Amino acid sequence: MKETPKLNITKSLEIFKEACELVPGGVLGARKPSDFIQGEYPIFLESGKGCRLTDVDGNEFIDFMCGYGPIILGYREEEVDDAVIKQIKEKGFCFSLTQKYQNLLAKRLTELVPSSEMSIFLKTGSDATTASIRIARAYTGKIKVMRCGYHGWHDWCVEIKGGIPPKLYEDVYEFHYNRLDELEQLMATHGNETAAIIMTPFGHPNHEKMQEPAPGFLEGVRDLADKYGAVLIYDEIRTGFRLRMGGAQELYGVTPDLTVLGKAIANGYPISVVTGKKEVMSVASDRLFISSTFFPNSEGFVAALKTIEILGRDRVLENIWEKGDPFIGRIRELLDKYPVGAELTGVGPMFYITFERDDKGLYKGKRRDFYTQLIRKGFFFSPYHHAYICYRHTEEDLNNTLAGIEESLAYLQEKY
């Protein structure tokens, strides 16, 4: 049984030790070593270019995390960076008033996103999902929220409840993707008090297998929102400008009232969006307050406009699907060849290799060993999060990755 040699991550560990004295936990949120495999993955990166990362110890990886989703083109994409640098040097980007790029981006969204008639711009996905709930509550005059998906770190939806009074989330109810019956039961009880149904139109629950919508699921959710007068919100933070230019709503043909966008829209620059029907969005003009010093900063607008231009001009999403579909098809063939309990879910642009759960918990060891072998071989995946393909992944990169996956599966088969 051939085991890939362990990486040298000495500098990462040294910097992390120092960080633990300066930052609670050393690093924040989903970047923690425990969200990968402790002692195997680097903790600090030095640089990125195209689809490759280099850590502080000089290890190089073909990256399939894409910054948790924002990198749709590639790292240090010169055309996008040059547009932002030009804006900063020639015009400036942080002012007391708003620059014209707000309007340019809002117009572009109305051309691309089926639900888009008006937009407001923020910085993070959590900003945008929270703003969408505030808009829905102001528009309907109702309080309760039905949710399906992640939706961020703010009080109303975060999974870890430390520091949050129960009254701040007691009106939020969860249902599971593709379980229309669960939502029907919730709405039968709470529908007349429900302001919003917020959901990911493509199923990508944390740490779980991915799902496409079952026949009639999205349509059924749309019908329930209409029946009870609730605002239907699609959280397309991950799927917008990745599955289609208009997001999963364009792919699956069901249009929400509001859409939340972020991540891939600007290839790594901080910007997020709530966009949707004019009737609903208009309440943000005078019936609620959403503001931040940095929301109007134009570097994100400029990056988004240039990224969207490149996505359309160079057929980027078509290219990703054309590479991604055969790639995951070949992964499926490898999983059949090596029956170790690995499961593949997702679609060409975003996919996830998990392991079938068993009573003895062997799947945890298999998952750990599989992803340990991959990171040691120079392929950056997460054991607990789905992967992405970006424009700069080449056929050679993907073929090399398939070879690494096969070697890792063969290792598992011999070990288990």
For residues 209 and 44, give the distance between their C-alpha atoms in angstroms, rounded to a whole number.
Answer: 28
Alpha-carbon torsion (67, 70, 74, 79), positive or negative: negative
**CB atoms < 10 A from the CB of 108, how many?**
18
- Which pTM does this prediction carry? 0.97
Domain ranges of the chain: 10-75+316-415, 78-313
Order of all β-strands in the sheet with 194-199: 118-122, 272-276, 258-261, 231-235, 194-199, 144-148, 172-174
Average pLDDT, the chain: 97
Calculate what percentage of the chain has a pLDDT beyond 90: 99
Instruction: Give the model's pLDDT for residue 207.
Output: 86
Bridge partners (DSSP) of residue 352 are: 345
User: What is the tens place of the pLDDT at every residue in 205-216?
Assistant: 988 999 999 999
In this structure, CATH architecture of domain 78-313: 3-Layer(aba) Sandwich (3.40)
User: What is the tens place of the pLDDT at every residue in 4-40?
Assistant: 999 999 999 999 999 999 999 999 999 999 999 999 9
User: What is the tens place of the pLDDT at every residue in 242-272?
Assistant: 999 999 999 999 999 999 999 999 999 999 9
Instruction: Give the model's pLDDT for residue 272.
Output: 98
Looking at CATH, the fold of the domain delimited by 10-75+316-415 is given as: Aspartate Aminotransferase, domain 1 (3.90.1150)
